[in-house]
Amino acid sequence: MSGIRLRDVTKHYRVLKRREGLSGSIRDLVSRDYKTVKAVDGISLSIEQGELVGFIGPNGAGKSTTIKMLSGVLEPTSGTIEVDGFVPYRQRRRYVQRIGIVFGQRTQLWWDLAVIESFKLLKEVYGIDDAAYERNLGIFDEIAGLKELRGIPVRNLSLGQRMLCDIAASFIHDPGTIFLDEPTIGLDVEIRAKVRKIIKELNRLKGATVLLSSHDVGDIESLARRIVLIDKGKILYDGPTEKFNGIFGRYRTLRLDVHGLSEEGIARLKEKTAERAGADKGIVFGEVAGGWLGLSFDQDRIPLLELLTPILAAFEIKDIKVEEIAMEEVIRRVYEGALR
Amino acid sequence: MRLRSYRAIVRNEIQASLAYRGHFLFHLAGTAIYLVIASFLWKAVFASSGAEAIGGVGFERAYLYVGIAMSLAGLIQTNVDYSLNRLVMSGDIFRHLCRPQDFMGQLFAESIGDGIVNCAAIGMPALVLSYALSGTSPPDLVNVLLFVPAVAMAFFLNFLIDFLTGLAVFPFHSIRGVTNAKDAAILVLSGALVPLPFYPAGIRSVLEWLPFQALYNAPARILADGGAGISEALPFLARQAAWAIILFVLARVLFAAGLRKLVVNGG
């Protein structure tokens, strides 16, 4: 059976609880206290061949652990995983021949050698025939500009360039399924967009199933038609991106530079704004961080200008920023019932 | 098994090794200094004893033995214990595990790549220097022909011992203690520091059955005992082979067990 199937998958780690300080470290030598961390806590998921699914959640939600289990690197504590008819961790070597993997924080390229040498190695490792190899390199040259990077040692690449090469490398053997774990982590906006474009192109050209994880909502919104939201090892949402966007796309975070305001001033600003807008407008204030006060609001219920104009009139605000909703805010609102 | 895919690793590893040529220069210089000092040291040992030979071994043979052992040390070192430790603790082990190749096979192929470069850049020159400083004539062809498989076996055995040491990362999360113990054991028990023929007969007869002597003592004896030929070399080679099989099976079983306990760290 093709596609990805997970049923009631859990992964528990036993983690040493370290005591604090030097004396704690010494006591840890003789008596140890372990606790069980439920990194993945009962996930069931079904993805069809050729689908591009976005897997989102805050840091530590269990995304990477799930992807490591799907790649056959980790064995689940309980539950069953099947990818294209394979049980990943049991038939590792035969299985990984058919999948591609990118872990955003690591590279699978040969650090000291020119990029092309890693591709040549992968050609032998996966037993790719000359024609397919040349054809794929051609595709990478065209959509990722790989040609200019071929001769550069991997350690001399920028993070963004390396990521482009790593993604290309994960497609080199025409795998049926690709796992991309945080491929845009640490990249700037421009390279991010390029990475997204390449993933989309390759998915379209190759028809591979792609599961892409990110803790950035924006990444997924522009790529995937389906979103799986996960937090604390559990799936909170699994459905179309439009529905998700319909709910969270309207939320914005407004950031105000409140350097010029006193503590009381900030308190008064919060009070006045909440009072004027009314309790039903869904305005939530965050903490003041680095002189910036964040507040998230629902554009459908209160337009930005209506919210902002009275604030600017009454308080000394040096600068403003409007951002898309942050991951933590999505999670918080989901727990409060936003998706129900 | 696609042998070509492992050959590709060997090739890449050779290329990666060659990226750091300064490393060889200093390693070779260090080895040469050791060889020169060792020649003075052993000359002094023999001079102070006043005898032509100690335990039936003269200066030339004793020094040659030590020189061969030192040349081998540069050649067979794999550091795969540290590699394994690093791969597991950093989580980079995923890279090996997501390739359709045997894990141990990948590490061995990487080690061979290093070994080939080390052989050419350090082992061979050091061996030539050892012969020059010992003042003996070059070895017979028979001994050289027997020496080659003995070195290959020593390389494989050293890989296995390092690999087994590296597996300590699974229960202990650090291999430093175990590696130190292993290094000390090899230094003393293998003949790398003091030739085994100088050990008391009782201890020597025990040491000759341990895997450590197969790393240095076996190839050094085969090459240094000029004219001994096949009849003396065969028992050494047989013991090397026996240990290779035992340690290989042990490594596979323990690695499989360790992998089940694996926690891929980071990200």
Give tens-digit pLDDT for A119-173: 999 999 999 999 999 999 999 898 888 889 999 999 999 988 999 999 999 999 9
Which pLDDT belongs to residue A1? 63
Determine the distance in angstroms separating the CA of A72 from the nearest CA of chain B, rounded to an integer: 8
Question: Phi and psi at residue A20, in whole multiples of 5°?
Answer: -80, 155
B15 contact A CB<8A? yes
Q: Cα torsion at B196, B200, B206, B209 (round to 10°)?
A: 20
For residue A113, give the nearest of B12, B95, B97 by CB distance. Answer: B12
Which pLDDT belongs to residue A186? 84
3-state secondary structure of A261: coil
Contact A38, A78 (CB under 8 A): no
% of residues, chain A, pLDDT over 90: 36
Q: Cα torsion at A178, A179, A183, A185 (round to 10°)?
A: 170
A6-25: burial string, b at 16+ Cβ within 10 Å, e else: beebbbeeeeeeeeeeeeee
Q: Search chain B and give the residue with CA nearest A89.
A: B260
- Beta-bridge partners for B39: none
B174 contact A CB<8A? no
**Residue B249, C-beta contacts closer than 8 angstroms, at least 6 positions apart:** none
The residue type at B98: C
What is the tens place of the pLDDT at every residue in A292-312? 888 888 888 888 888 888 888
B171 contact A CB<8A? no
% of residues, chain B, pLDDT over 70: 97
Residues A127, B5: C-beta atoms closer than 8 Å: yes
Question: Phi and psi at residue B266, in whole multiples of 5°?
Answer: 75, 145
Q: What is the DSSP string of B68-122?
A: HHHHHHHHH---HHHHHHHHHHHSTHHHHHTSSS-HHHHHHHHHHHHHHHHIIII
Q: Search chain B and give the residue with CA nearest A107.
A: B95
3-state secondary structure of A60: coil
Can you give the residue ranges of every domain in chain B? 3-265
Question: Radius of gyration of chain A from Cα atoms?
Answer: 23
3-state secondary structure of B226: coil
Most confident of A217-226, A329-338, B78-87: B78-87
Determine the distance in angstroms separating the CA of A73 from the nearest CA of chain B, rounded to an integer: 6
Question: Phi and psi at residue A114, in whole multiples of 5°?
Answer: -60, 150
Taking the model in full, what pTM does it have? 0.84
What is the tens place of the pLDDT at every residue in B161-220? 999 999 999 888 889 999 999 999 999 999 888 888 888 889 988 998 999 999 999 999
Q: At what angle do helices B103-118 and B230-260 cross, to 10 degrees?
A: 140
Contact A146, A164 (CB under 8 A): yes
B77-89: burial string, b at 16+ Cβ within 10 Å, e else: bbebbbbbbebbe
Contact A108, B98 (CB under 8 A): yes
Residues B101, A125: C-beta atoms closer than 8 Å: yes
3-state secondary structure of A41: strand
Our separate counts of H helices and E strands in chain B read 13, 2
Q: Cα torsion at A274, A275, A278, A279 (round to 10°)?
A: 60
How far is A109 from A115, CA to CA, in rounded Å?
A: 7
**Residue A129, C-beta contacts closer than 8 angstroms, at least 6 positions apart:** none
What is the tens place of the pLDDT at every residue in A190-245? 888 888 888 888 888 888 999 999 887 778 888 888 999 999 999 999 999 888 88
Residues A110, B7: C-beta atoms closer than 8 Å: no
Residues B267, A105: C-beta atoms closer than 8 Å: yes
- Beta-bridge partners for A103: A181
How far is A140 from A200, CA to CA, in rounded Å?
A: 13
How far does chain A reach from its first CA to its final CA, in angstroms? 33
Mutate to test the interface with A, among B2, B3, B97 (most CBs of A within 10 A): B97
Q: Which residue reads 């997970």 in tokens?
A: A6
Residues B16, A112: C-beta atoms closer than 8 Å: yes
Residues B94, A113: C-beta atoms closer than 8 Å: no
How far is A232 from A37, CA to CA, in rounded Å?
A: 10
What is the residue-averaged pLDDT of chain B?
Answer: 89
Residues B267, A108: C-beta atoms closer than 8 Å: no
Which pLDDT belongs to residue B135? 85
Determine the distance in angstroms separating the CA of A124 from the nearest CA of chain B, rounded to an integer: 5
Task: Please state, as a whole number, how many other Cβ atoms lie within 10 Å of the Cβ of residue A306.
Answer: 13
Q: Pick from B50, B8, B69: which is nearest to B195 by CA?
A: B69
Residues B98, A111: C-beta atoms closer than 8 Å: no
Residues B95, A182: C-beta atoms closer than 8 Å: no
**Residue A128, C-beta contacts closer than 8 angstroms, at least 6 positions apart:** A122, A136, A172, A173, A174
Ordered by where they begin, the domains of chain A are 4-240 (3.40.50.300), 250-335 (3.30.70.260)
CA distance readout (Å), A249 to A244, A286, A325: 7, 19, 8
Which pLDDT belongs to residue B25? 87
Q: Search chain A and give the residue with CA nearest B260.
A: A75
What is the tens place of the pLDDT at every residue in A81-93? 999 999 998 888 8
3-state secondary structure of A56: strand
**Local confidence band at B267 (pLDDT 50, 70, 90 cut-offs):** very low
Contact B229, B143 (CB under 8 A): yes
